[in-house]
Amino acid sequence: MFEKNPPVPGSPAGFEVPVEEPTTPTDPPPAKPDQREPVPVTATGTPEDLPDGARGPQGRFLTTAQGARLTDTDHSLKAGRRGPTLLQDHHFREKITHFDHERIPERAVHARGAAAHGVFRANGAASKITRAGFLQKGSETRVFVRFSTVLGSRGSADTVRDTRGFATKFYTDEGTFDLVGNNIPVFFIQDAIKFPDIVHAAKPHPDREIPQAQSAHDTFWDFVSLHTEATAHTLWNMSDRGIPRSYRMMEGFGVHTFRLVNSDGETSLVKFHWKPRLGVHSLVWEEAQLLGGIDPDFHRRDLADAIESGAYPEWDLGVQVFPDTPEQTFEGIDLLDPTKIVPEELAPVQVIGTMQLNANPTNFFAETEQVAFHPGHLVPGIDVTDDPLLQGRLFSYLDTQLSRLGGPNFGQLPINRPHAPVNDMLRDGMHQTGVHPGAAPYRPNTLGAGCPFLAGVEDAAFIDVPAPIAAGVKEREAPSTFDDHFSQARLFYRSLSEIEKKHVANAYTFELGKCFEQAIKERQLQVLANIDAGLCATVAAGLGLPAPEPTVSTDGEPLHSEALSQVGATWPVEGRMIGIVADDSADVAEVAKAVAAVAAAKAVPLVIGPHGGKLDGGRKEVPISRTFDTARSVEYDALLLASAPADPRVRILVDETFRHCKAIGTWGTGTEALEHAAVHPEAPGVVTADDPEAVVTGIIELLGAHRVWERSQA
Ligand code: HDD
């Protein structure tokens, strides 16, 4: 027999409704065990007595998933040594079943990525415009950043021509904030409803599923030549930004305009920018292509190696700030149009903090693969705007995790857990790992003493800004300010240096040259004519087609934004790779001096020799990092020649380094290696001296400017 509930204090006898909700909150329950730090470790067994050099804290004894110790994992349980496997082999079944389900669906876009942990430190400059706690002076917040390509599958090459994702998860005390951006500040489309169209066009053709991770094919150019709002983004992709040298050397952009709210409730509109301390640098196209075969993991390796060696990459986070006016425009630029930038000369980027990435993930799958970003992960002080692309993203990211991560509890995965206490009323579902106490995950309630209570501004609650919405009728239309598809492409193109413009022309010529349909090439040439007549003429000549006349006017537009060009400044060389060619005839003491000088400049010296092991000379020894078999020029940012091995592979090394406009230094007999490759010792960017330290000094200076563009043929 069940007793009737006892009377609620203060209520009439019995259990009659209506009952008042309690009005004084009790203490909130503590964070769920799985949201506390440090993250619980689930390894079984004892980690003591591990052999030296063990690479993981695996326990000592192998067990089943249920913790029973095992004597054998190499043989299935059989009816006799030569007999069939028994169905009762629970270890075999557990092992194979788990293996059969190891893969999860890859991301529909941005499937290929690499990530790192780090910390963000705010300088307080944003405190006037936002009340977000993590942006107040001195605040330090842990972050996890995932970089990615967009088009390729998980196993595709890193160095393809593509946009790069730059997604940052800030684990703030007030909840998680995700800044899910790209290395390109504009987007292909203005409205999220077009996302499946651009992605279907850019992904491999549905019949043969080729080409992988490429935009150089008919369906991509078919779509973007028709859908001219993609013009600016496509142009950025064809520029050097489409083939970054390293994730560490890319800018990042929030792309959309966001709305910040300060502690007085005042709002402003902002665009977020990440500025890499190492500068913005790119590969040249031939390097990118070669790397696709020689080291498809080039960017992933570069990031992990740099962090492992202590060359922690850093970015300044900056904002461009605009008044929150009803028009939401700035200097005539519609701030809700994600195909537009605001040139930095019109609205400077103001630095509000710095991020350092200082730890590699422990487990790729658990962290890099399972991390789930979402532009709707917002914190008090940061809100969204009505940009129709952002509005659609607010739906898509949550939705996609349901199939990718298998249900609605992906937020409980260690990498996705907020570092703020969570006290939600979400319950059950697939892969629920929380063991929620209490009987009243609903509101209003009396059985849980009214908890959880609702917070106000004074409790650091997230407030949806009551921003006015433009009046109008319900319709499927874009504002007329979204109609201009060319002025910003022109602005970008005209802001590039001559060498960068050449690269753009080469990229269009390559990509369209890979298209089969003549009509698509002709239509894209028309788009190019509306960007720049010279660009159009060069590409048309490369394709062997006539250059059309522009169909839009170019009058009265800004022509130049210096901040858009990558060329002309000098930057730190931390973590840059310098190859040092030497065979057994080299003066080993001199090689050792060069190695030390490169390391002292915080670059990475890699000795390339004819065999593995060491260069041995007198009392000096130098370890060889690469051999003529394994080395290819594309791995290095500069090359030093300590001797002149008569080996064709060395000739290719020198030849490619020269063609790719990278610095070359020689001393002693090394200078003869230049002759073998027909490189003039006085050519720009070639440093020859007697002393290897002087050579390294010259090379580091050249490397600061990234490349020796005077040498460029194209
Ligand atoms: Fe997106 C992933 C960036 C528009 C739908 N997007 C994804 C990632 C980045 C971006 C960096 C990878 C996150 C990670 O590393 O896990 N996306 C952008 C930017 C956009 C943008 C900068 C425009 C300014 N995206 C966009 C639209 C839609 C999506 C308009 C859909 C309407 N994006 C997705 C997605 C993904 C995704 C399908 C795939 C995996 C995921 O979300 O978690 O939902």
- Confidence band, pLDDT 50/70/90 cuts, at residue 25: low
Q: Which of 356-370, 544-558, 586-600 has the lowest mean pLDDT?
A: 544-558
What's the whole-number mean pLDDT along residues 19-35? 54
Judge if the beta carbon of residue 375 lies within 6 A of ligand 1: no
* High-pLDDT (> 70) share of the chain, %: 91
Phi and psi at residue 152, to the nearest 5°: -75, 160
CB atoms within 10 A of CB 249: 22
- ipTM, two decimals, is 0.99
Q: pLDDT, tens digit, for every residue of 398-414? A: 999 999 999 999 999 99
For 615, the enclosing helix (H) or strand (E) is: strand 614-617
Identify the CATH number of the domain defined by range 113-412: 2.40.180.10
Q: Ligand 1 atom closest to Cα of 395?
A: 32
Q: Which residue, 687, 273, 684, 228, is CA-closest to 499?
A: 684
Contact 612, 630 (CB under 8 A): no
pLDDT one-digit tens code per residue, 265-305:
999 999 999 999 999 999 999 999 999 999 999 999 999 99
Q: Where are the domains of the chain?
A: 113-412, 495-564, 577-711
pLDDT band at 471 (very low <50, low <70, confident <90, very high): confident
List pLDDT tens digits, range 662-671: 999 999 999 9
Residue 316 has pLDDT above 60, yes or no: yes
Q: Is 405 in the pocket of ligand 1 (CB under 6 A)?
A: no
What tokens appear for 387 in the block?
Answer: 């940009």
Q: What pLDDT, on a 0 to 100 scale, did the predictor assign at position 52?
A: 57
223 is in an annotated binding site: no
Q: Which residue has the higher pLDDT, 618 or 32?
A: 618
Q: What is the pLDDT of residue 42?
A: 42
Q: Would the annotation count 253 as a binding residue?
A: no
Q: Measure 367 CA to ligand 1 centroid, in angstroms.
A: 18
| 626 annotated as a binding-site residue | no
Is the C-beta atom of 539 inside 6 A of ligand 1? Answer: no
Q: 577-711 in CATH: which number?
A: 3.40.50.880
Q: Which of 387, 396, 404, 415 to mutate to test the pocket of ligand 1 (most atoms within 8 A of CB)?
A: 396
Residue 114 Cβ inside 6 Å of ligand 1? The answer reads no
Predicted local confidence at residue 249, as pLDDT: 98
Average pLDDT, the chain: 92
Judge whether residue 13 has pLDDT over 60: no
Question: Would the pLDDT of 452 be above 80?
Answer: yes
Q: What is the mean pLDDT of residues 92-121?
A: 97
pLDDT at residue 34 above 80?
Answer: no
What is d(CA 98, CA 397) in angstroms, rounded to the nearest whole number? 28
CA 326 to chain centre: 33
pLDDT at 9: 43
**Residue 272 beta carbon below 6 angstroms from any ligand 1 atom:** no
Band of residue 554 on the pLDDT scale cut at 50, 70, 90: confident
Task: Evaluate: CB of 194 within 6 angstroms of ligand 1.
Answer: no
% of the chain exceeding 90 in pLDDT? 87
- Active-site positions read 110, 182
What secondary structure does DSSP assign to 394-458, as a single string? Answer: HHHHHHHHHHHSSSTTGGGSGGG--SS---------TT-------S--SSS-STTTTPSPPP-GG
Question: How is 118-179 classified by DSSP, letter by letter?
Answer: EEEEE-STTTTT---GGGSTT-EEEEEEEEEESSS-TTS-TTSSS-EEEEEEEEETTEEEEE
**pTM, 2 dp:** 0.93
Asked if residue 490 belongs to a known ligand binding site, the reply is no
In the structure encoding, which two tokens stand for residue 26, read together?
């009790």
Determine whether the shortest distance from the Cβ of 109 to ligand 1 is under 6 A: yes
d(CA 310, CA 313): 9
Query: Among the listed ranges 18-32, 507-521, 535-549, 688-702, which one has the minimum average pLDDT value?
Result: 18-32
Q: pLDDT band at 24, cuts 50/70/90? A: low
Rounded-to-integer distance, Cα 508 and Cα 224, Å? 13
Q: Find all residues with CB under 8 Å of 643, minimum gap 6, and list them.
A: 581, 582, 583, 585, 586, 668, 669, 670, 673
Q: Among 235-239, 249-253, 561-565, whose mean pLDDT is lowest?
A: 561-565
Mutation pick for ligand 1 pocket among 272, 337, 397, 402 (CB with most ligand atoms within 8 Å): 397
> How many A from CA of 275 to the centre of ligand 1?
21
Q: Please answer whether residues 508 and 528 qualify as being in contact, where contact means their C-beta atoms are separated by less than 8 angstroms.
A: yes
Q: What is the residue whose two structure tokens read 């070359």?
A: 664
142 marked as binding residue: no
pLDDT tens digits along 130-141: 999 999 999 999
- Alpha carbons 424 and 377: distance in angstroms, whole number: 15
Cα 585 to ligand 1 centre (Å): 54
Neighbours of 23 (CB within 10 A): 7
* Superfamily holding 495-564: Catalase, four-helical domain (1.20.1370.20)
**Greater pLDDT, 347 or 553:** 347
393 is known to lie in a ligand binding site: yes
Candidate from 393, 404, 405, 410 with most ligand 1 atoms within 8 A of CB, to mutate: 393
Tens of pLDDT, residue by residue over 583-616, are 999 999 999 999 999 999 999 999 999 999 999 8
Q: Does ligand 1 lie within 6 Å of residue 181's CB atom?
A: yes
How much is the pLDDT for 5? 42
Ligand 1 centre and the CA of 269: distance in Å? 22
Measured in Å, residue 204 CA sits from the centre of ligand 1 at 18
What pLDDT is stored for residue 470 in this prediction? 77
Give the tens place of pLDDT for each residue, 610-663: 999 999 876 778 999 999 999 999 999 999 999 999 999 999 999 999 999 999
Instruction: Report whether the peptide linkage leading into residue 375 is cis, meaning its omega lies within 30 degrees of zero.
Output: no
> Which of 35-44, 54-63, 699-708 is least confident?
35-44
pLDDT exceeds 90 at position 190: yes
